[in-house]
Amino acid sequence: QSALTQPASVSGSPGQSITISCTGTSRDVGNYNLVSWYQQHPGKAPKLIIFENIKRPSGVSNRFSGSKSANTASLTISGLQAEDEADYYCCSFAGSITWVFGGGTKLTVL
Amino acid sequence: EVQLVQSGAEVKKPGESLRISCEGSGYTFTNYWITWVRQMPGKGLEWMGTIDPSDSYTNYSPSFQGHVTISVDRSTTTAYMQWSSLKTSDTAMYYCTRQGQLVRHFDYWGQGTLVTVSS
């Protein structure tokens, strides 16, 4: 069960949009519409921002959006703000009560 | 208000045992699975294992099977994770998190328990 593949870092200027990819396999990302994304600020617990590929929990800004195609899921953040600077992790259900996380992506807002 | 409150930071020596806890409140404890997640210093999140508090059925990641034990006490709505013999490589932040039995994402997280293992 290997970790999902994310870019180590991405950056963007305030107001711009960025996309973080998350690549898995046909046994996890490609087999279920159950990718979730988590935001983690330094020293804080992760926070759910996207679930079931595209859904946003109540209270999460609509600047965050998710998508999936085949074995790759993506998180897009539009209208970047300084407060978006954080680590972002994807996670996929992998069957039989197992999950796999991505390695994480550090977002820098320039 | 849903809360998962974890026990405090621990400093242990290699070979010692340890049990950390995660108390759930503000929801029906047995309706949500509890998952433990490891985050080693400067590293990413790793799924360790998940327990169904309604019947204590537990599934472990192969990476952690046999090294940790996850349990629950329904009377105190508390989940536990324990080690019988710690290693220095167990130094990490450990989070508990919950998900509904019909969903596959983690909606609430504990604040984390920092475990430091050093001789």
- What is the DSSP annotation of B3-23? EEEEPPPEEE-TT--EEEEEE
CB pairs under 8 A between A and B: 65
For chain B, what's the residue count?
A: 119
CB atoms B104 and A48 under 8 Å: no
CB atoms A91 and B105 under 8 Å: yes
Q: What is the average pLDDT across B72-86? A: 97
Q: What is the pLDDT of residues A4-47, one digit of tens each?
A: 999 999 999 999 999 999 999 999 999 999 999 999 999 999 99
Q: Count of CB atoms within 10 A of residue A61's CB?
A: 14
The pLDDT of residue B83 is above 80: yes
Nearest to B107, CA basis, from B20, B2, B17, B9: B2
Which of B46, B59, B109 has the CB atom closest to A45's CB atom? Answer: B109
Q: Are strands B108-109 and B113-117 parallel, antiparallel or unpaired?
A: unpaired
Chain B residues closer than 8 Å to A98 by CB: 47, 59, 61
pLDDT, mean over chain B: 96
